[in-house]
Amino acid sequence: ALKTSGVDADELRAFTARIVGADEPQLAKLRRVTWGSAGQVALLVLAVLALMRIVGDVDYAQLRDDLSHASWGWIVVAAVAAQLPRLTQAASTLGSIAASIRYGPVYVLQLATSYLNLALPSSVGRMAVTVRFFQRQGLPGATAVAGGAIDSVVGNAIQLVLVLTLVARTISSAALSTIAMSAT
């Protein structure tokens, strides 16, 4: 449309910069294929191959037989209960920033990071996606990074507390079991 109307975008950009008293913005060079994009494609192919290998070992006849005897009420309860971690993670993410963001998109973010963790199990990937999400919601870069870091660190701290609690309970249970066995 610019070419047909005779508008020179370069002249328009320079003129606009002079009018507002700003430096003329430098255009980013377009790169169609980069090493990063090739790496992303390679990771995607690796994830698909891994999923195909997992699905390839499924005995579908046995699965069909098991599902025919399944209690569908419990399957519905399990499907609903499986969403609870994402719901609480969304609440945690909302609590890591002072800005007001709708709950629905943050829940979708948690679903996305769950799938991301299948291909790339790392809190760094989760933090990067969260930071980019906050930026797309209009938060400044520093706020987005701080919110992503807070969400990631608090999530890891809670997991550590849960693991330590399980270890402590296992040790105390083993100790009680040993005492009970020695008493008999």
**124 CB-side CA count, 13 A:** 1
Top-confidence residue, 2 or 77: 77
**For the packed helices 35-56 and 103-119, what is the interaxial angle rounded to 10 degrees?**
80
Token pair in block for residue 184: 């008999």
**Alpha-carbon span 32 to 142, nearest angstrom:** 29
pLDDT score of 1 more than 80: no
Phi, psi of 70 (to 5 degrees): -75, 155
Phi, psi of 154 (to 5 degrees): -65, -40
Looking at residue 2, its pLDDT comes to 72
**Alpha-carbon span 134 to 166, nearest angstrom:** 34
Top-confidence residue, 154 or 183: 154
Residues 35-86 pLDDT 10s: 888 888 899 888 888 888 877 777 888 888 988 888 889 999 999 998 888 8
| Mean pLDDT computed over 140-162 | 84
Looking at residue 58, its pLDDT comes to 76
pLDDT score of 162 more than 80: yes
Q: Taking all residues of the chain, what is their mean pLDDT, rounded to a whole number? A: 84
Contact indicator for 143, 134 with CB cutoff of 8 Å: yes
pLDDT score of 116 more than 80: no
Top-confidence residue, 16 or 114: 16
Looking at residue 163, its pLDDT comes to 93
Token pair in block for residue 62: 């046995």
Give the global pTM: 0.51
| Mean pLDDT computed over 80-96 | 87
Phi, psi of 140 (to 5 degrees): -60, 155
Choose among 151, 37, 56: nearest CA to 95.
151
Terminal Cα-to-Cα distance of the chain (whole angstroms)? 91
Per the listing, tokens 């105390």 go with 172
pLDDT score of 166 more than 90: yes
**Alpha-carbon span 68 to 72, nearest angstrom:** 10
